[in-house]
Amino acid sequence: MTRLLLFAFLCLPASAQPPTIGNVMNFLERAEADLLKLNIDGQRTEWVLENFINSDTEAIAAQANERLIARTTELIIEARKFDGLKLPPELARKLLLLKLSLGMPAPKDAKLREELTVVAAGLGGTYGKGKYCPGGPKEKCLGIDELDVQMEKLRDPKKLAEIWAGWHSIAPPMRDSYSRFVELSNQGARELGFTDTGSLWRAGYDMTPEEFSADLERLWKQVEPLYKELHAYTRRKLIAKYGAAAQRKDGMIPAHMLGNMWAQEWGNVYDLVAPPATPATYNLGDILKARKSTPRQVVEFGENFFVSLGFQKLPELFWQRSLLARPADRDVVCHASAWAIDLDQDVRLKMCIQNASDDFVTVHHELGHIYYDLAYRKQPVLFRGGANDGFHEAIGDALALSITPEYLKKIGLIKTVPPPSADLPLLLRTAMDKIAFLPFGLLVDKWRWEVFSGEVKPEGYNKAWWRLREQYQGVAPPVDRTDADFDPGAKYHIPANTPYARYFLARIYQFQFYRAMCKASGYTGPLNRCSFFDSKEAGSKLKAMLELGQSKPWPEALKAMTGEEKADASAMVEYFQPLLVWLKEQNKGEKLGWTLPADPLKAQ
């Protein structure tokens, strides 16, 4: 009987025989070659689209994206024949990462897949071409980068509300397209074995989607007390400046008064909250403008930091092909972004540098992506990525924390180091961005997960958006909103379909990375005064993590850098501890928190 079964097995056609490890190796070799080629094509067409926005480039980008999604989907389905086969860890991880690689899963049906890519390209193009015309369409119309400058500089509540409402008016036309995008993407996710696109995204963190959601809440609870102290202090200062215009019965802050279109970072209103009678400090933007620094020179500051840690200079291709200033002759998507065109040495930065303080920090952030890309470029194609996407966002920001007064003096941007008594203003200024951002970084994807799961329907998009913003941020819209509005669409990452939890994680990770590199450099003082610039020991720790790419689960990559295997916000709390003590003193007698209204669309 056994011999008969063996004979029958040997007579099976090759396609019916059980797969082997050799089959998996051959499949992955072919898959990685196909994906590399299609990714290069997609990156190049997307680069052209964002630098030359028109209907033709939208169509070309959509076609390239469709080819990539189609082939990736085919490969994911083909890989299912290896389910249940016991594999070496490296091969098993490659198959897992392949399954999770589609941030925009698409239906198998070719027509629906093409529709999805066209809808996605149209959403991105609508955002990129968005303009607000204060004086009507015949007057000068302003894009988001110009409006950002006005939100930063203006101190007239009425004008700020007009600008806020004007920019958000670009989004309602996107709502139906976005709803269709959700339907198509969810269909693709279900065909890949996930309940919806949000579940697919959350599965990419070496834990279950449910565990990941719970872990984000755990991290938020570690930092929420610090945020509430900062919120109460800022609210009081804004009321002192604007009076009744800033005061609400529910204790929330009007979203247009925080110096940023989305109230996601508050550093632009630091002048309104700065402690009185503190030593004079510095403004990097003013320093760069006084020096007439060119965009290239601003980028070179970031490059030199990495070089001081033992990294190589940027490839010459970077300088030849990057876009560092807004062109005068065309619309471009100016949202800062880093690009690894060929997953090798063709790396680029796209950013409209205007010598603002934020630009100096943003350059370090984006170069963090680029140096990460360069560090893991020798890994197999499926491992050329961050340990998770939050790691990718955190690297440059960890370096930016090292932009201390001592560092700025060392590189010649300031002549004298402010005394230790200036630490509090510097910490407050940093917290106005780093701490203020945390709830926004958390809620953007919470909203999307509710949308993808079907818990929130298209007619409730805007109400759900403001419910989360009020719950986590304690901010409210400056004017009444309706269900016809689509305020999420006024934030780049929604029409661009860019996952956002990575930015929340990056804010946590960067302090964990920073503390580890400070320790490696031999620093022992207060954490907020550490700079590991020029420390090859810190650079060695960083390289060890970056070079792993995505070849290991992220807790292993974290351990290579920090010795810890769990995300932990205690480094962030430690960094801001002097500020927390001071804020509690300032807030004595002040009610912390806010009351949630019955209707989140109503402005008071």
Catalytic residues: 366, 493
DSSP string, 309-346: TTPPPPPHHHHHH-B-S--SSS----S-EEEETTSSS-
Please state, in angstroms and rounded to a whole number, the distance separating the CA atoms of residues 240 and 32: 59
Residue 466 near residue 600 (C-beta atoms within 8 A): yes
Measure Cα distances from 498 to 19, 491, 492, 494 in Å. 36, 11, 8, 7
End-to-end CA distance of the chain: 83
CA distance 52 to 44: 12
Token code pair at residue 120? 């996605």
| Look-up of token digits 């009185």 | 276
- Give the integer Cα–Cα distance in Å for 568 and 38: 37
Q: Say how far apart CA 353 and CA 363 lie, in whole Å.
A: 9
Please say whether the beta carbons of 34 and 71 come within 8 A.
yes
Say if CB 434 and CB 569 are below 8 A apart.
Answer: no
Q: What is the CA radius of gyration of the chain?
A: 25
Contacts of 303 (CB under 8 A, 6+ apart): 313, 314, 367
Element (DSSP H or E) covering residue 476: strand 475-476
8 A C-beta contact, residue 24 and residue 82: yes
In degrees and rounded to multiples of 5, residue 254 shows phi and psi of -60, 130
| Contact (CB, 8 A) for 380 and 93 | no
Residue identified by tokens 């449910």 is 210
Amino acid at 179: S
CB-CB neighbours of 89 under 10 Å: 10
- Burial (CB < 10 A; 0-12, 13-18, 19+), residue 502, is buried
Dist CA 539 CA 401 (whole Å): 15
Q: How many CA atoms lie within 13 A of 206 on its CB side?
A: 20
Outline where 388-422 has alpha helix (H). Answer: 389-400, 405-410
DSSP-derived pairing of the beta strands 253-254 and 475-476: parallel
